[in-house]
Amino acid sequence: MAHKMTELDAKHAHYAETPWHKLGTVGHIWPVEAEEMFDWAEVEKRPLYIKDPGDLDPDEYVPLGNRQVLQMVEPWYRHIAHAEVTDRYQIVQHSFMTDTIVPILYDTGMVERIESLGTYNNGEVGYVSLKLANDIEIPGWSKVESMFNIGNGHDKKIPLLATQSARAVVCANTFQWNVLDKTPVYKFRKMGKPAEMMEEAVRALADSFNRQETYRRNIERLANEEYSNTQWRHLKQQLMPEPHVDAGDSMNTITRWINNTEALDFRFHIDADIAGVRNTKWGALMAVQAWEQKDKTIKGDKHKRQSTHQANVMFGKLPMTNKAAELLSI
């Protein structure tokens, strides 16, 4: 399932600054207050029931063997259930991130603030994004802020993990740092051993913090490498091969390709947000990234597209940006 922000998720989302999707509550997020912000999304194991085939009473249900699901505890949300689990499944509540992990990371001095906190898929996946204290300044273009993201899922797909992402202040572009150096997703492995998990969390944060100088050098190098219009056309063709009626492509496919390539051209040639790095390799990458964040068609309204992008930056994939980075030999 894709990670999407529902109305329920938006109701409980918190941001230090107004996000580009304009959802959630905006204001400084104090660590003490954050400890209670996931309480509404707490889950417990509950047996699965089916209608008793041998009983005529329509309200009579019996357990379906020993099968269980993760069901919301909050009375208002008892109708919401997430993944089916076994007896051996160990629940990690989203609140573990805010009442246990975040405080110890704050104490390292490497965290400036809680940037955002929220969930996707009606509380199924939770996240906390921490802004690191060392921004990266790219002369002539923008400041780049680094984020250390902690995620947790009740979907059996996302374990307790940490990822790295970044935001270019000038354009609010958010992207994954692994486009620069294949930064790994850090998965916590000492489940059930809080002290050891805290050590893992601090090590992951320190690793993220120490990579900033490498990222700065890589961005400056790419921002100083010229990228011609001819190279840009070649990159577009590799990212979005031109469709043809003779090859059986429909007119809708051709129209969509025209719209997408025109939007890409706008990002590369005109978009004021990359003026300081235009006609460079970094400018080309940011043009593709901006298209994937702001222009790519996703079913639903603009807010759904933008919140889905935010989730992909933390836990998913940005296939077009990652492919562009590979083609640019980053």
Please tell me whether residues 110 and 149 are part of one structural domain: yes
183 pLDDT above the threshold of 60 = no
Residues 300, 281: Cα–Cα separation, whole Å = 32
Please write the tens of the pLDDT for every residue from 61-119. Answer: 777 778 899 999 999 999 999 999 988 888 899 999 999 899 989 988 999 999 999 99
Compute the Cα dihedral for 311, 314, 319, 320 and give only its sign.
positive
Please tell me whether residues 188 and 319 are part of one structural domain: no
Average pLDDT for residues 158-187, to the nearest whole number? 74
Confirm whether 157 is domain-assigned. yes
Confirm whether 236 is domain-assigned. yes
Q: What is the pLDDT of residue 192?
A: 62
> What is the rounded radius of gyration, in angstroms, for the C-alpha atoms of the chain?
22
Angle at 186 (CA atoms; ends 46, 96), nearest 5 degrees? 40
Among 218, 251, 280, the domain-final residue is 218
Share of the chain above pLDDT 70, in %: 86
Among 162, 197, 218, the domain-final residue is 218
Please tell me whether residues 29 and 140 are part of one structural domain: yes
Going by pLDDT thresholds of 50, 70 and 90, the confidence category of residue 304 is low
Confirm whether 2 is domain-assigned. no
275 pLDDT above the threshold of 70 = yes
Distance (Å) of CA 298 to CA 90, 295, 309, 314, 323: 34, 9, 10, 18, 19
Domains contained in the chain, number: 3
Please write the tens of the pLDDT for every residue from 190-231. Answer: 566 667 777 888 888 888 888 888 888 888 889 999 999 999
182 pLDDT above the threshold of 60 = no
Please tell me whether residues 55 and 28 are part of one structural domain: no
Q: What is the pLDDT of residue 270?
A: 95
Confirm whether 1 is domain-assigned. no
Q: What is the pLDDT of residue 1?
A: 46
Please write the tens of the pLDDT for every residue from 6-38. Answer: 899 999 999 998 876 678 899 999 999 999 999
Please tell me whether residues 167 and 185 are part of one structural domain: yes
Residues 9, 97: Cα–Cα separation, whole Å = 17
Please tell me whether residues 191 and 313 are part of one structural domain: no
Domain extent for 80: 43-85
Residues 322, 181: Cα–Cα separation, whole Å = 11
Residues 76, 48: Cα–Cα separation, whole Å = 19
Please tell me whether residues 209 and 316 are part of one structural domain: no
Structure tokens of 125?
Answer: 């996946």
Please tell me whether residues 120 and 204 are part of one structural domain: yes
Please tell me whether residues 205 and 240 are part of one structural domain: no
Please tell me whether residues 120 and 170 are part of one structural domain: yes
Among 54, 85, 116, the domain-final residue is 85
Going by C-beta distance under 8 Å and a sequence separation of 6 or more, which residues neighbour residue 9?
118, 119, 120, 121, 122, 123, 307
Nearest partner of 19 among 308, 274, 307, judged by Cα? 307
